[in-house]
Copies of this chain bind each other. A is one copy, B any other.
Amino acid sequence: METISTARAHGGCQGVYRHRSSATGTDMTFSVFVPAHDEGEVLPVLWYLSGLTCTHANVTDKGEYRAACAAGRVILVAPDTSPRGEGVADDPAWDFGQGAGFYVDATAEPWAAHFRMWSYVTDELPALVAAEFPADMARQGITGHSMGGHGALTIGLRHPDRYRSVSAFAPIVAPSQVPWGEKALGGYLGDDRAAWRRHDAVALIEDGARLAELLVDQGADDQFLAEQLRPELLAEACEAAGIDLTLRLHPGYDHSYYFVSTFMGDHVAYHAERLWRTT
């Protein structure tokens, strides 16, 4: 692992790092904020998965999470959204290919060689974080925005024992039923829609996946709300499954980091409270 930069921020250390990923077969860049902590102490870890077109840098610059992570004493890890670079397949559209990995392990060509973001985010990067940072991997939470909200929900639903807390900002809750998701899941996984269900939060819940509770914030003036995000589908699935969903619809807010940063403090506090809770 190579350190690209570190800086003191809100009493902790904001770093950006690069490593050779065996999952993706590429170099991958990610950021980690580690709050102030005692020598030898380990802290809970909150994963933040980013949306379409983003890298680690968007939330690192605009997410306004550091003050809340310092107060809540939680490490925040922000991975990239896809493999990148020469020799990696790409698509001219902004919602597919590089910058749009959708947190799946692609099985269709030409994507299968590198687009293995599920394995990267759930296996390889956690092992690296555990080895290199003062992280207590027994206390992990996960959140994300838009495509990254999709990632957080599906990863959380499929690992209920690993992630103690799950939340999302304006997530794609049912990719099988919306244009962004149909394009991405069809492109990366092929036409067999049965395979898509393991990467669709609403379908996972319908198929029996369970979480005790879930926090979702959504801007009511989000330009993607009606066509791509459709939080009502998540609400219906949670209602039917008995999942305690807190879904907050915020008048006036759009899909941008102005929205994410406004509610970031609430999400970090939500995770911190659950990750530090002694049960």
**Chain A interfacial positions (CB closer than 8 Å to B):** 7-11, 14, 61-62, 64, 66-67, 219, 221, 250, 252-254, 256, 258-259, 261-262, 265
B residues less than 8 Å from A219 (CB atoms):
8
Give A130 Cβ to nearest chain B Cβ, in Å.
25
Number of copies: 2
Task: Tell whether, in the assembled complex, residue B9 and residue A258 are in contact, meaning their CB atoms are under 8 Å apart.
Answer: yes
Give A272 Cβ to nearest chain B Cβ, in Å.
17
Given contacts A61-B61, A62-B61, contact A7 B254 (CB under 8 A): yes
Complex-state Cα separation, A221 to B262, whole angstroms: 30
CB < 8 Å neighbour of A9 from B10, B14, B221, B261: B261
B residues less than 8 Å from A64 (CB atoms):
64, 66-67
CB < 8 Å neighbour of A253 from B8, B221, B250: B8
Complex-state Cα separation, A8 to B256, whole angstroms: 9
Residue of A11, A253, A261 with most partner-chain B CB within 10 A: A261
B residues less than 8 Å from A14 (CB atoms):
258
CB < 8 Å neighbour of A11 from B66, B254, B262: B262
* Residue of B with least CB distance to A264: B67
Given contacts A62-B61, A64-B64, A67-B64, contact A8 B259 (CB under 8 A): yes
Complex-state Cα separation, A120 to B64, whole angstroms: 31
Task: Tell whether, in the assembled complex, residue B62 and residue A262 are in contact, meaning their CB atoms are under 8 Å apart.
Answer: no
